[in-house]
Every structure is written in C-alpha cells, then in structure tokens.
C-alpha cells in the first residue's frame, strides 16, 4: 500500500502505518481542543486510540499466525484509519482451512474481551453507567477497561458479519462452497457485501444525530465505498483464480529477447530497458547457468540511486534477485503465480529436464488474464 511506512517488525512480519493514521491523530487533537477538552484529556484519548489500533494489530496477527500453519506467508500488516489488513501471499485451498484463518482474527478480539472482562470483574472497574455518553469516551483512564471490553466485543462481532470484506464473509463463503462451488459462493457473498455497504449508508443517514453528521457521514460513506469495492474485487479475484488453475505455463512460454550477463554494467541494463522490448530480464553466469533476475523496478531504483556517470562502474551482479524456485511447463498458471508472489519476482525461468526452455513474466500473465477475463 502506497504511503505506508514500517514502524516495527514482529515475528518477521513488517508492521506498517499509513500516513493518514497520523493525520487522524492530529484531527483528534484539534477537535478535542475545539470541544473544550484539556490537554490531559486529549492525551488520554490519543492513548485510547493507540490502544484500539493495537487490538486491531493483534487481530491481524491472529490471521497471520494461523495462515502460517497452512504454509501461507504474510507480507506485512498495514494499519490505517479504516482498520488493519494482513497482506497474505494467498489463502489455503480447502474451505475449512480458509475459515480457520478468517476466524482467527475475531477469536483474538474475543480472547482480549475475556481478559478485560475478567480483569474488570475481579477489580470491579467495569462501569456501564456512562454508556452512550461522552463521559465514557472523554473521561478518565479508569474507563479504559470498560472501553476495551466493549471495543473488542464490537471488533469481533463486526468482523463476523457474513459479507465481504469482513472475516465473516470468508467464513460464510467457506460454508457455501461445498454445495455451490467457490465461484458461486463468492458471488452470493459479494452481493451480500454490496448490500451491506448500501445499508450502512442508509442507516447512517437515518440514525446519525444531526450534530454528528458533519463528522460521521463522510466516515460511513468512505467505509461503505470501501466495502462495496472490496466485495467486487473479491469476486474478480476468484474468477482470475479459476482461469489460472485451468491453464498451464506451457501456453505462455517464450524465448527471452535479451539476457543479461552478471558482469554487465548497469548502464547496459538501462539501455536495454529504454528500448522497451522487455521489462524483466534473466541474468546468466559465465557458464550459462541462471544467476538470477533483474526487473524494471529494481533497474529504475538503481538508476536513481547511483549517479549517471557511475553506472558503468557497477555490475548487474550487485543488484540481481535470486531465483529459489523455477517454473516447469506442466505447472498451472496458479502455481506459477504463487511462485512469483512467494519469491517477490516478476519473471521466472522455465526448466524441463534441467534444461532452460524459456521464460514467463508478470506482464504476459496480466495480458493473458485480461483477455481471458473479458471473454468469459
């Protein structure tokens, strides 16, 4: 996600914060002061918000750790004002496994609610008397136990709504898939998600207090657009996945137009890229074996970071990406795509009986998918 920067790395998973989150904290401070809050109250409210999003991060780690059990890697976890998202390499193939990964997030919030509830019960620090009033939110930190109990219950229930993009949508689809098939189950859940998005706007219009309209209506609208868009994207992804599983790499194999040698200098790679015939290149050792790959984003990044008059002083070998898992002609395009994503590459060499027979790159795959998608 553009505009996100890393703030931590936990269990090997980068945790990133979107810049708009910082903007939200500034907005809270300004609004708090405008509504008569002193700096201490503003500070405690900011602490409350950080705590809430910590619960959201823990929710996402629930997904990440459960996905790891099924061999699915988590690229990163990104936090924004709309919530958090764990970006997984994919999802488990079996519906039951997907539902386990989906339920793991709300389960974390249920666990946190039990902890806060248990602590509040033992210390008699839970107080619902201010529920529905501003004192519960803007009061002293003693309200935090009550707030975090309610917030985690809300996060668990909200994410279990049976519609995309919520976790409940994935659980609901996994229940429908055995009888309807994954594609039809996704379509049903997509329509449900789109309907929920529209309903959210209607409910906001009918029930949001007039004095809060200026603040809450835009938030509800933004959330609804996000829900509608993500529900649509989920169905598109399933259609793409079906196409990928039906076709093999052998349909896309081509001979590379240009192959770089690992002792070529950067200026040579830039010159070839400028010709526009290819964007991603194989890099060979002197004995003809594959040393790695060098792709357009990396070439451009290197070109920007090194002065032009020094391009011929640096070899391609310094910047190539290694290929840990090559492709084979009989692999499905779905397997090929997973290999690309897992290795964070844009091109893979294709080997048959230990002989290089060609390459397939991400641009070929995207063009193929675009044509196949439009034909269906």
Domain residue limits at 112: 1-160
Residue 93 and residue 71 in contact, taking contact as beta carbons nearer than 8 Å: no
Q: Does the pLDDT of residue 106 top 60, yes or no?
A: yes
Sign of CA dihedral 237, 323, 293, 248: negative
pLDDT of residue 11: 82
Residues 242 and 310 in one domain: no
pTM of the model: 0.69
Q: Of 246, 276, 292, which residue is a domain's last?
A: 246
pLDDT in tens, 233-283: 777 778 888 888 889 999 999 998 888 998 888 888 888 888 878 889 999
Residues 15 and 147 in one domain: yes
Q: Which two tokens stand for residue 258?
A: 């240009």
Strands 347-352 and 290-295: unpaired
Residues 322 and 265 in one domain: yes
Residues 55 and 140 in one domain: yes
Domain count, the chain: 3
Q: 300 Cβ partners below 8 Å, 6+ apart?
A: 273
Burial (CB count within 10 angstroms: exposed 0-12, middle 13-18, buried 19+), residue 281: buried
Residues 70 and 47 in one domain: yes
Residue 204 and residue 217 in contact, taking contact as beta carbons nearer than 8 Å: yes
Residues 125 and 169 in one domain: no
The secondary structure of 48-101 as a DSSP string is: HHHHHHHHHHHHHHHHHHHHHHTTPPEEEEEEETTEEEEEES---SSHHHHHHH
Strands 74-80 and 4-10: unpaired
Pick the catalytic residue from 40, 60, 242, 354.
Answer: 60
Q: Which phi and psi (to 5°) does residue 140 adopt?
A: -80, 170
60 is catalytic: yes
More confident residue, 155 or 42: 155
Residues 264 and 239 in one domain: no
């Amino acid at each position: 996600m553009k505009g996100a920067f890393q703030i931590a790395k936990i269990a090997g998973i980068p945790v990133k914060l979107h810049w708009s989150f910082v903007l939200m904290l500034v907005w809270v401070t300004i609004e708090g002061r405008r509504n008569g809050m002193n700096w201490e109250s503003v500070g405690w409210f900011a602490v409350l918000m950080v705590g809430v999003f910590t619960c959201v991060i823990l929710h996402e780690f629930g997904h990440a750790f459960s996905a790891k059990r099924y061999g699915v890697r988590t690229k990163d976890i990104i936090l924004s004002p709309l919530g958090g998202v764990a970006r997984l390499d994919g999802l488990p193939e079996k519906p039951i496994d997907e539902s386990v990964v989906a339920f793991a997030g709300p389960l974390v919030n249920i666990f946190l609610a039990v902890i806060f509830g248990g602590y509040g019960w033992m210390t008699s620090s839970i107080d619902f008397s201010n529920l529905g009033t501003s004192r519960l939110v803007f009061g002293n930190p003693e309200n935090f136990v009550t707030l975090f109990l309610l917030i985690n219950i809300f996060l668990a229930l909200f994410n279990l709504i049976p519609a995309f993009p919520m976790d409940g949508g994935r659980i609901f689809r996994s229940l429908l898939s055995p009888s309807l098939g994954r594609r039809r189950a996704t379509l049903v859940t997509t329509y449900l998600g789109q309907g929920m998005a529209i309903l959210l706007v209607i409910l906001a219009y009918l029930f949001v207090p007039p004095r809060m309209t200026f603040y809450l209506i835009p938030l509800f609208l933004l959330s609804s657009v996000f829900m509608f868009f993500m529900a649509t994207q989920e169905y598109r992804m399933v259609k793409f996945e079906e196409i990928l599983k039906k076709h093999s790499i052998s349909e896309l194999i081509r001979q590379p137009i240009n192959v770089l040698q690992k002792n070529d200098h950067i200026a040579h790679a830039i010159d070839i890229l400028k010709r526009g015939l290819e964007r991603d290149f194989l890099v060979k050792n002197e004995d003809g074996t594959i040393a790695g790959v060098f792709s357009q984003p990396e070439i451009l990044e290197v070109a920007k970071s090194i002065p032009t008059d020094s391009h011929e002083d640096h070899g391609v070998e310094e910047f190539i990406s290694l290929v840990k898992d090559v492709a084979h002609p009989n692999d499905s395009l779905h397997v090929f795509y997973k290999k690309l994503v897992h290795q964070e590459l844009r091109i893979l060499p294709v080997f048959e009986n230990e002989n290089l027979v060609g390459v397939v790159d991400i641009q070929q795959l995207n063009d193929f998918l675009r044509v196949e998608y439009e034909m269906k």
